[in-house]
């Protein structure tokens, strides 16, 4: 299932906030619509956010009526600034915007040439994402053995254009004939595991068991889980992994129980420049924690924390799988 596509100056994306109840596609003709879909997590998952942002720039280029290069770049910079402000933690957003903007700056010639190159580059990023996931799946599938029960957190399938990162490895292992079962964490407060990962696994006919986030200790202590594979929103040179809130807890528990903890991500998720002290963890509206399915669950006046991501130190990470191969966290810079 494709999470996003480009059709004649319109970006069509699955509205992930409506799944699994409704299959709704958003049709977006301008970058503002893309930005608000990212902010509202209708489009989500670090790689997919990067792809959507690249397509946001492509929309501006496609529809621009600018008469001069300066005019076009003014519109592009406005687009880039808004898209950059949507979500701070996943690095793919900044990587994709930089890649398309660089292409534009380095394209000499008339406005039409700039527009054309930008649209081509954005579409290249879309297609590359699918290929990268297939390569991650191929590189990682032999880490899984026939009969393994794999725990995954959040959603790493629809968080890409197609196939997925951690989910791509599970899919590749199943495709190669291994019997794999998956334990899916619900992933409060947005329930990406309960709503999206179970939806994808059911679609593929891969056996899935849903647990609440607080059952991690139980499933590990009771030897229900053999391996863990999660995605990443940003991986630092030091090997620290930023991923969905709760990942750190899972990684520490996995280490305590001698369970391998793998991270799967494309090389566009690697950030060699930022120090762990300077990473920005997105803080979302506490209302997401204070409510469940639109109903308030805590008394009025109670405060809530809502960090969307956490940081897992490299000592808890067994290996990181990218399209380039399998790396120890301390060697992740070799994957760029």
Q: Smallest distance from the beta carbon of 263 to ligand MRU, in angstroms? A: 9
Q: ∠172-189-233 over CA atoms, to 5°?
A: 45
Paired residues of 230 in beta bridges:
263
Q: Is 308 in the site for ligand MRU (CB under 6 A)?
A: yes
Q: Is 231 in the site for ligand MRU (CB under 6 A)?
A: yes
The three-class DSSP label of residue 133 is: helix
Strands (E), the chain: 4-7, 10-14, 25-28, 149-152, 181-185, 208-211, 227-230, 234-236, 241-244, 261-264, 270-271, 291-292, 295-296, 309-312, 319-322, 325-327
| Cα gap 190→188, rounded to integer Å | 5
Q: Is the CB of 64 or the CB of 86 nearer to ligand MRU?
A: 86
| Cα gap 288→160, rounded to integer Å | 23
Q: Which of 129, 233, 271, 310 is catalytic?
A: 233
Catalytic, 129? Answer no
Paired residues of 13 in beta bridges:
4, 26
Q: Smallest distance from the beta carbon of 47 to ligand MRU, in angstroms? A: 5
Among 80, 186, 233, 271, binds ligand MRU (CB under 6 A): 233
Contact 306, 289 (CB under 8 A): yes
Q: Smallest distance from the beta carbon of 69 to ligand MRU, in angstroms? A: 35
Contact 196, 158 (CB under 8 A): yes
Pairing relationship of beta strands 270-271 and 234-236 according to DSSP bridges: parallel
Stretch of 23-31, 70-78, 151-159, 214-222 lying at the interface with ligand MRU (CB under 6 A): 151-159
Q: Is 329 in the site for ligand MRU (CB under 6 A)?
A: no
Q: Smallest distance from the beta carbon of 46 to ligand MRU, in angstroms? A: 4
The three-class DSSP label of residue 222 is: coil
* Token output for 67: 């008469």
Q: Is 160 in the site for ligand MRU (CB under 6 A)?
A: yes
Binding residues among 273-302 for ligand MRU as defined by CB under 6 A: none
SS3 content of the chain, % helix, strand, coil (to 5): 45, 20, 35
Q: Is 239 in the site for ligand MRU (CB under 6 A)?
A: no
DSSP state of 314: G
Q: Is the CB of 80 or the CB of 162 nearer to ligand MRU?
A: 162
Q: Is 47 in the site for ligand MRU (CB under 6 A)?
A: yes
Q: Is the CB of 45 or the CB of 239 nearer to ligand MRU?
A: 45
Stretch of 40-48, 55-63, 216-224, 288-296 lying at the interface with ligand MRU (CB under 6 A): 40-48
Q: Smallest distance from the beta carbon of 160 to ligand MRU, in angstroms? A: 5
Q: Is 243 in the site for ligand MRU (CB under 6 A)?
A: yes
The three-class DSSP label of residue 186 is: coil
Number of residues that bind ligand MRU (CB under 6 A): 16
Q: Dmax of the chain from CA atoms? A: 67
Among 6, 28, 45, 329, binds ligand MRU (CB under 6 A): 45
Q: Is 268 in the site for ligand MRU (CB under 6 A)?
A: no
Binding residues among 162-201 for ligand MRU as defined by CB under 6 A: 165, 192
Catalytic residues, by residue number, are 233
Q: Summarize as ranges the residues that interact with ligand MRU (CB under 6 A).
A: 44-47, 90, 154, 156, 159-160, 165, 192, 231, 233, 243-244, 308
């Amino acid at each position: 299932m494709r999470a996003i596509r480009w059709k004649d100056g319109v970006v069509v994306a699955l509205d992930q906030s409506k799944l699994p109840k409704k299959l709704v596609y958003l049709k977006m003709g301008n970058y503002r619509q893309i930005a608000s879909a990212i902010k509202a997590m209708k489009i989500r998952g670090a790689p997919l956010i990067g792809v959507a942002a690249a397509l946001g720039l492509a929309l501006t280029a496609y529809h621009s009526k600018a008469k001069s290069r300066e005019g076009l770049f003014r519109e592009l910079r406005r687009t880039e600034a808004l898209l950059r402000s949507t979500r701070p933690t996943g690095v793919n957003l900044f990587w994709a915007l930089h890649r398309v903007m660089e292409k534009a700056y380095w394209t000499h010639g008339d406005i039409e040439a700039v527009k054309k190159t930008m649209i081509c580059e954005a579409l290249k990023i879309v297609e590359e994402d699918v290929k990268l996931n297939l390569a991650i799946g191929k590189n990682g599938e032999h880490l899984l053995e026939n009969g393994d029960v794999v725990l995954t957190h959040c959603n790493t399938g629809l968080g890409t254009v197609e196939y997925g990162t951690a989910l791509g490895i599970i899919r590749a292992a199943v495709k190669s004939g291994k019997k794999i079962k998956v334990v899916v964490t619900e992933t409060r407060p947005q329930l990406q595991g309960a709503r999206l990962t179970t939806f994808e696994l059911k679609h593929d006919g891969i056996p899935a068991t849903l647990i609440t986030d607080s059952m991690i200790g139980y499933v590990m202590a009771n030897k229900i889980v053999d391996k863990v594979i999660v995605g990443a929103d940003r991986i630092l040179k030091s090997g620290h992994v930023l991923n969905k809130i709760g990942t750190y807890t899972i990684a520490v528990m996995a280490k305590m129980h001698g369970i391998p903890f793998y991270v799967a991500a494309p090389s566009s998720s690697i950030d060699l420049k930022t120090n762990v002290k300077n990473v920005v963890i997105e803080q979302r509206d506490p209302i997401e924690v204070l409510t469940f399915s639109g109903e308030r669950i805590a008394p009025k006046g109670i405060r809530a924390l809502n960090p969307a991501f956490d940081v897992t130190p490299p000592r808890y990470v067994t290996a990181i799988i990218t399209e380039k191969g399998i790396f120890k966290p301390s060697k992740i810079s070799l994957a760029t």
